Amino acid sequence: MTVAHSDSTGRRARELGLELPGTPGPHNAITDVPGVEVGYRTLIHGEGPLVVGQGPVRTGVTAILPRGRAGVGRPCAAGWYSLNGNGEMTGTTWIDEVGELWSPITISNTHAIGACHTGVIEWINAVRPALARQWLLPVCAETWDGYLNDINGGHVIPEVVRAALDSARPGPVAEGSVGGGTGMNCYGFKGGSGTASRRISFGAKVFTIGVFVQANFGARAELTVTGCPVGRILDTPNPMESDDWLERDIAAPGAGSVIVIVATDAPLDAAQCKAIARRVPLGLARTGTTGSMFSGDIFLAFSTANDRPGATSFPARAISEAELETRIVMPWNRMDLLYAAVVPAVEEAVLNALFVNAEMTGRDGHRSPALPREAVLALVNSPGHRDRRPD
């Protein structure tokens, strides 16, 4: 079946009583940043032995529109960072060059990068044909879902990508096994899509940091929840980790990847966006990961402030002083406000991806168990752990 938006199967980390720092926005999602829209297409069908091209299929596409459908082509200041390069995010060399992002962002599986790239170009050609007459360098990112999915079957096609882009909306964001996160695993449990946000005060102004993760990383023993090393304590069987992982046709322990997108309406320039992206690993580390060599960990941050028309066409007219731009930018000596927001938001987004999820069985009977929420909460709330937590 093909699903546009799938409801979460469980309650989120904060709703279950986890004590997480910071004040979230109304949806505790990346869409709390005004203008940001998220869309999905989820592909789930088939069971049993793998037949390449037929399934079983456990995959999909996530689409993030930084300024919504109406704002395609209007640039955002942007910067990116790679903790480990065993992954892919297209369009980043151009972001390095000009410090801007003006295309949609798509996230899917590793072997769907080409289809996502083509699908975004086709979609922009349909909704902004004048923009498509210039060069297009979409941002398409991936994590590997081959443990559960027929990853070589070509199930993500440009039509699916266009549908994900068309479905993008503001407001609440579905989490767990939806969109590009459908076939993903995290710390030996069912992973996938997660989101969170934080509000920060700057004088009389209030800015928002929003985070979206596609979580497909981490070894079971690393999993840490609000400082409690639950992965080392839980006795839940882990069918995804084995000493003979290569012979069993499964991923190495800790393998996978994680893509993190950070949005904010705080007025940042490109260098400050890159500085935000460099703080993402600190939030991931709170959940326990040590950054496996087999995990591509790539992060992108953008600012929706300083909204203005794009300037992608070659100028054919005489140079005019009217083309000069004035922008408001956050002072560097106040960036700690944003760093202190993005780190716990990343942590919470990963926990949400884990907590809302249900068990999934994919190709060849490969099973990804759900996080045992009650057992985790019991460990986190045990007197010994609570006594060790800082106030």
Annotated domain spans of the chain: 16-310+327-380
Give the mean model confidence (pLDDT) for residues 274-295: 96
297 counts as catalytic: yes
Distance CA 201, CA 264 (A): 13
User: What pLDDT does residue 239 have?
Assistant: 83
User: What pLDDT does residue 3 have?
Assistant: 44
Q: Which residue has the tokens 């956050």?
A: 330
Question: Would you say 274 and 80 are in contact if contact means Cβ atoms under 8 Å apart?
Answer: yes
Q: Which of 6, 8, 103, 257 is catalytic?
A: 257
Distance CA 206, CA 354 (A): 29
User: What pLDDT does residue 7 have?
Assistant: 42
User: What pLDDT does residue 337 have?
Assistant: 96
Least confident of 28-37, 133-142, 246-255, 331-340: 246-255
Beta pairing class for 105-109 and 139-143: parallel
257 counts as catalytic: yes
User: What pLDDT does residue 115 have?
Assistant: 98
295 counts as catalytic: yes
- In this predicted structure, the answer to whether residue 366 has a pLDDT above a threshold of 70 is yes
- In this predicted structure, the answer to whether residue 133 has a pLDDT above a threshold of 70 is yes
Distance CA 353, CA 371 (A): 10
Distance CA 16, CA 333 (A): 36
The CATH number of 16-310+327-380 is 3.60.70.12
- In this predicted structure, the answer to whether residue 124 has a pLDDT above a threshold of 90 is yes
User: What pLDDT does residue 242 have?
Assistant: 62
How far from chain centre, in Å, is Cα 106? 10
Closest CA to 110 of 147, 159, 78: 147
Give the mean model confidence (pLDDT) for residues 106-133: 96
- In this predicted structure, the answer to whether residue 313 has a pLDDT above a threshold of 90 is no
Which H or E run contains 256?
A: strand 254-264
Q: Is 4 exposed, middle or buried (0-12, 13-18, 19+ CB in 10 A)?
A: middle
**For a pLDDT cut of 70, what percent of the chain falls above it?**
91
- In this predicted structure, the answer to whether residue 374 has a pLDDT above a threshold of 80 is yes
Whether omega for the bond prior to residue 309 falls within 30 degrees of 0, making it cis, is no
- In this predicted structure, the answer to whether residue 314 has a pLDDT above a threshold of 60 is no
Q: Which of 32, 150, 297, 368 is catalytic?
A: 297
Q: Is 167 exposed, middle or buried (0-12, 13-18, 19+ CB in 10 A)?
A: middle
User: What pLDDT does residue 321 have?
Assistant: 74
pLDDT tens-digit profile of 20-36? 999 999 999 999 999 99
Query: Mean pLDDT of all residues in the chain?
Result: 92
Per-residue pLDDT band for 160 (boundaries 50, 70, 90) equals very high
* Angstrom distances, CA of residue 5 to CA of 88, 200, 268, 291: 25, 30, 32, 31
pLDDT tens-digit profile of 55-113? 999 999 999 999 999 999 999 999 999 999 999 999 999 999 999 999 999 999 999 99
- In this predicted structure, the answer to whether residue 8 has a pLDDT above a threshold of 60 is no
Q: Which of 8, 295, 303, 368 is catalytic?
A: 295
Per-residue pLDDT band for 391 (boundaries 50, 70, 90) equals very low
- In this predicted structure, the answer to whether residue 189 has a pLDDT above a threshold of 90 is yes
User: What pLDDT does residue 134 have?
Assistant: 83
pTM: 0.94
